[in-house]
């Protein structure tokens, strides 16, 4: 992360604010941050040789949890991290028919299966390959075939109440 910040001169650019960076051990369920009002935990997901983390954001007082996992093929670590969360934001890079097209990513059907196994209430599909932007409703339907909860397609800059 520090390399990216430095590459784009984000830490030294005029008007920038300090961005503290702390390493996180790639261990399942590791606590990243805890305050009086919220907690963040992480688990590694599977993206080939590239280290990647899924994140769980919780507001314990309200009993609300949101899990975000992108750039991952289906894996048990995400299922466990998302267990009983209100919302799972999960990649759906392509439809099941093109399963072999991209490595280390998930289909909409697989995102639906993960959401069902985790017992979440809502699934928001994200990280859709641009070639499939004309098929968003079909991708949502593919996820719904495996998940009985609410399925939505992520839209940039749109707030999602929890």
pLDDT of res. 25? 81
Of 43, 127, 47, residue with least CA distance to 85 = 43
Alpha-helical regions (H) of the chain: 2-7, 76-82, 108-118, 136-144
Reported as a single tens digit per residue, the pLDDT across 79-114 is 999 999 999 999 999 999 998 777 899 999 999 999
Mapping DSSP to helix (H, G, I), strand (E, B) and coil, where does residue 3 land?
helix
> What percent of the chain has pLDDT above 90?
72
CB of 82 closer than 8 Å to CB of 56:
yes
Domain 27-153 has CATH 3.10.20.340: no
User: Mean pLDDT, to the nearest integer, of 9-28?
Assistant: 82
Place of tokens 């959401």: 115
Express the helix, strand and coil content of the chain in percent, nearest 5 each: 30, 25, 45
Provide the pLDDT confidence category of residue 59 given band limits of 50, 70 and 90: very high
Given a cut of 90, whether residue 64 has pLDDT beyond it is: yes
Provide the pLDDT confidence category of residue 147 given band limits of 50, 70 and 90: very high
> What percent of the chain has pLDDT above 70?
99
Of 67, 158, 161, 152, residue with least CA distance to 114 = 67
């Amino acid at each position: 992360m520090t390399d990216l910040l430095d590459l784009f001169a984000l830490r030294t650019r005029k008007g920038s604010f300090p961005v503290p960076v702390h390493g996180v051990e790639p261990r399942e369920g590791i606590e990243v941050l805890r305050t009086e009002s919220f907690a963040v935990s992480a688990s590694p997901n599977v993206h080939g040789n590239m280290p990647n983390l899924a994140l769980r954001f919780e507001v314990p007082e309200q009993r609300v949890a949101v899990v975000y996992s992108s750039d991952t093929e289906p894996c048990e670590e995400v299922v466990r991290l998302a267990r009983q969360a209100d919302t799972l934001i999960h990649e759906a890079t392509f439809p099941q028919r093109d399963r072999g097209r991209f490595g280390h990513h998930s289909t909409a059907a697989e995102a639906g299966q993960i959401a069902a196994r985790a017992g979440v209430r809502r699934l928001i599909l994200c990280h859709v390959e641009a070639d499939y932007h004309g098929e968003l409703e079909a991708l949502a339907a593919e996820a719904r075939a495996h998940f009985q909860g609410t399925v939505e397609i992520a839209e940039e800059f749109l707030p999602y109440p929890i």
